[in-house]
Amino acid sequence: MRIALVSDAWAPQVNGVVRTLTTTVERLRLRGCLVETITPDRFRTIPCPSYPEIRLAMGCGRKMDRLLDLLEPDAVHIATEGPLGWAARAWCLAAGMPFTTSFHTRFPEYVALRSGLPASWFWPVVRRFHRASARIFCATPALAAELHGQGLAKTHLWSRGVDLAAFSPAAPTHPAMADLPGPVMLCVGRVAVEKNIAAFLDCAVPGSKVIVGDGPERAALEKRFPDAIFLGALHGGALASAYASADLLVFPSRTDTFGLVMAEALASGVPVAGYPVRGPLDVIGLGGRGPGDRAAGPIGALDEDLAAAVARALTADRAACLAEGRRYDWDTCTAAFLAGLAPRGRTAVPEPSSAAPPLLAAA
């Protein structure tokens, strides 16, 4: 199967969406799929206003048409609602090609935080983008229900996975966290307004606060909270070591659709504290025992009083955290991705095999 995966979010961005997409591409190729990624690095870009780390493709329609014409994909998946997503959507509609989309980010709430305008003003754009999709991939049943409430009923569940070989309690201690006064509280994510990291740093709780990530708010937060430790963006073994060195992950975001870092923390045997909002509710559960109270013991705590959530989460069952984290299996997630695609014709889904290279490397 030839799959075109189109995304405005890609390396060198460091976030859960990019990790999810890049890992999915790797797993699809191992199954014998011919996957071509159409991402900003192939286009002329400008920095996103107020967030220069994100590059936005400019004048991408004609090149998008050429790439997709050359690829002749069996299936097209559009991961983001940015310029590349809109260009790929236009090609699919003109070519009569079915396509699928993802709802990774609460775009209306994200823009509302940055603009000061109501989120309701931006939902019509989101509905227009996704309504033509054959299926909208979303991470949880609760998010699917939310999209149904916005008139987007053609949803498909596509959960998230964790590299269980990397994220483990057995990972070595991170040198910068080895001698910190406990409890050691970790926050992992983009250092940007939508992640609400200031709420974590403002939280009146004893211990050490460590931030892993980078972004436009980092300099201001470092100045405002000089006692916090900012390690910047970490990857691979260094990121796994940061999780394994923490007593708790604090997830203060109120806008995430899932929050991959929570699953990574759990797989490292680390409990999670956060607010009782979508994302944390879907991973930690209102009662702190996972979705549907399925965990054998408490794996974290959610509360509108973040300090109270931290205090309760520090008493969680680390063995239960580890068991819950191991539920996030990439093979299951990759199979769900393939099952949700809307291929042209009746192309069979391949079984796992050797890796297949990208098709348009020279395009």
Tell me if 17 sits within 8 A of 189, measured CB to CB.
no
Q: What distance in Å separates the CA atoms of residue 8 and residue 86, rounded to the nearest whole number? A: 10
**288 domain-assigned:** yes
Tell me if 298 sits within 8 A of 266, measured CB to CB.
no
**166 domain-assigned:** no
Single-letter code of the amino acid located at 1? M
If asked whether residues 17 and 72 sit together in one domain, one would say yes
Which residues in 68-89 are b (16+ Cβ under 10 Å) and which e? beebebbbbbbbbbbbbbbbbb
Q: What distance in Å separates the CA atoms of residue 190 and residue 217, rounded to the nearest whole number? A: 9
If asked whether residues 108 and 249 sit together in one domain, one would say no
Preceding peptide of 12 cis, ω within 30°: yes
If asked whether residues 227 and 301 sit together in one domain, one would say yes
**123 domain-assigned:** yes
If asked whether residues 136 and 98 sit together in one domain, one would say yes
If asked whether residues 26 and 153 sit together in one domain, one would say yes
If asked whether residues 108 and 248 sit together in one domain, one would say no
- pLDDT value of position 352: 44
If asked whether residues 115 and 244 sit together in one domain, one would say no
Q: Taking phi first (over 0 means left), then psi (-120 to 50 degrees means alpha), and beta for anything else, what does residue 153 get?
A: alpha
188: which strand partners?
A: 212
CA dihedral for 192, 195, 199, 205, sign (positive or negative): negative
If asked whether residues 154 and 298 sit together in one domain, one would say no
Q: Rounded to 5 degrees, what are φ and ψ at 73?
A: -70, 150
Q: What distance in Å separates the CA atoms of residue 50 and residue 66, rounded to the nearest whole number? A: 31
- pLDDT value of position 257: 80
Tell me if 152 sits within 8 A of 131, measured CB to CB.
yes
Helices and strands (DSSP H and E) totals, the chain: 14, 14
If asked whether residues 58 and 99 sit together in one domain, one would say yes
Which residue is associated with the tokens 């989309």? Answer: 101
**350 domain-assigned:** no
**348 domain-assigned:** no
If asked whether residues 9 and 127 sit together in one domain, one would say yes
For residue 120, the enclosing domain spans 2-161+329-340
**76 domain-assigned:** yes
Number of domain units in the chain: 2
Kindly report the CATH number assigned to the domain that includes residue 35. 3.40.50.2000
- pLDDT value of position 356: 43
**305 domain-assigned:** yes
Q: Taking phi first (over 0 means left), then psi (-120 to 50 degrees means alpha), and beta for anything else, what does residue 288 get?
A: left
If asked whether residues 7 and 120 sit together in one domain, one would say yes
The DSSP string of 248-269 is EEEE--SSBSS-HHHHHHHHTT
- pLDDT value of position 353: 41
**110 domain-assigned:** yes
- pLDDT value of position 53: 73
Torsion, CA 115, CA 119, CA 121, CA 125, rounded to 10: 100
Tell me if 331 sits within 8 A of 27, measured CB to CB.
yes
If asked whether residues 268 and 334 sit together in one domain, one would say no
Ranges of residues in the chain with a pLDDT under 50 are 347-359, 361-363
- pLDDT value of position 360: 54
